[in-house]
Structure 1
Amino acid sequence: MFPVAGFLRMNQGVAVRLLRGLSSQTDGEIRIAQVLKQKFPSASSLRVVDISGGCGAMYEIHIESDEFEGKRTVQQHQLVNQALKDEIQGMHGLRIFTQVPKH
């Protein structure tokens, strides 16, 4: 059992994940991951996390793809934003972490 003070200090998304089970994904996480897999088929790593507590208001995305090669970080993030333009309309926030795979 978690001490109450420590539990309340936890990131809300992490706390909800602990309550509902680490392996379960929200519908929003699944939908966003599907869109990104389609847009970035060569992605070697992709992780989408609902950090709003499961309500779909804010997500964190970690994506590693060869398609980012030679692009500045802002350009990489623009590609992700463009891929998610329809989904972003219903969000309050989005954290994006992009990376080029190390070969």
Structure 2
Amino acid sequence: MSSLARLLRRGEALLVRRHMQRAMSSHTDGEVRIVQRLKEKFPQATSLKVVDISGGCGAMYEIHIESDEFKGKRTVQQHQLVNQALKDEIQAMHGLRIFTAVPKQ
């Protein structure tokens, strides 16, 4: 096996190990802080999930939120509400993925 192949296998193993550690660990401080802020701003939220997708460094998050507060608003307006709620936190981020929805009744 070439040294490049060994390095690639070692790198794959490291990625798998990091993924497993992340899957088994509790939420990051950033995730907890963002969840708290969103719960304050969207008290009617029926579903809320925040995931640090930057490997735990807090540079990029993915947010899934369902709330009646989004009813009657276009997707861009829903996302603007989330951005406004997180305006202070966003300044330190590299990126943010937002998925919003109105709960099905």
How would you bin the TM-score normalised by the shorter chain? 0.7 to 0.9
Q: Tell me what 1:38 maps to.
A: 40
Q: CA deviation at 1:48?
A: 0.2
Aligned length: 96
Q: What residue number does 1:83 align with?
A: 85
Note closer, same or farther for the CA distance 1:70–1:55 as it changes in structure 2 (3 Å cut).
same
Structure 2, unaligned stretches of length 5 or more? 1-8
**Structure 2 residue 36 is matched with structure 1 residue 26:** no
1:1-103 aligned at under 5 Å gives the runs: 5=12, 8=15, 16-22=18-24, 24-103=26-105
The CA distance in 1 between the partners of 2:94 and 2:78, in whole Å, is 20
Structure 1 gaps of 5+ residues are none
TM-score calculated relative to the size of structure 1 = 0.84
Q: For the residues of structure 1 that align with 2:60 and 2:27, how far apart are their CA atoms? A: 14
Partners of 2:27 and 2:81 in 1: how far apart?
24
Which secondary structure state, in structure 2, belongs to the residue aligned with residue 32 of structure 1?
Answer: helix
Q: How does the TM-score come out when normalised to structure 2? A: 0.82
What amino acid is aligned across from residue 27 of structure 2 in structure 1? Answer: Q
Query: Deviation at 1:22?
Result: 3.2
The structure whose Rg is larger is: 2
Structure having the higher helix fraction is 2
User: Could you tell me which amino acid in structure 2 is paired with residue 40 of structure 1?
Assistant: F
* 1:99 partner amino acid: A
What is the CA RMSD across the aligned residues, in angstroms? 2.0
